[in-house]
Amino acid sequence: MLYMIRQVHAGKKCIPAEIASGLAEHLGDEALSRREVEVLQHVAAGHQNRMIGAKLFIAEETVKVHMKHIKDKLNAKDRTESVTIGVRRGIIQL
């Protein structure tokens, strides 16, 4: 701890290992677009693609494309994991 204080005092940056590893997990993560966040919020609310499309005035197929992009960007296996990751990262709130 004293080492870190001395490093910071000397004008250097010092990040504890546990924080650095958490940051490294998301390094290079691509941010979701505004529309993808909207779609993810509707998924978290339990809405199906058809309903999401109707609420956002987009085609159901467009919702599916957004979901594919969301899963790819979050490295999620499915809708549920996408929501879980979104909540954990603070992208959406329940």
Tens digits of residue pLDDT in 21-32: 776 666 657 899
Question: Taking the domains of the chain in order of start, what are their residue ranges?
Answer: 1-29, 31-94
Q: Quick one: angle between helices 49-56 and 60-74, nearest 10?
A: 110
pTM: 0.73
**Which one-letter DSSP state was computed for residue 19?**
H
Cβ neighbours of residue 89 under 8 Å, at least 6 residues apart? 26, 74
Instruction: State the CATH class of domain 31-94.
Output: mainly alpha
pLDDT of residue 70: 97
Query: With 80 as the cut, is the pLDDT of residue 20 above it?
Result: no
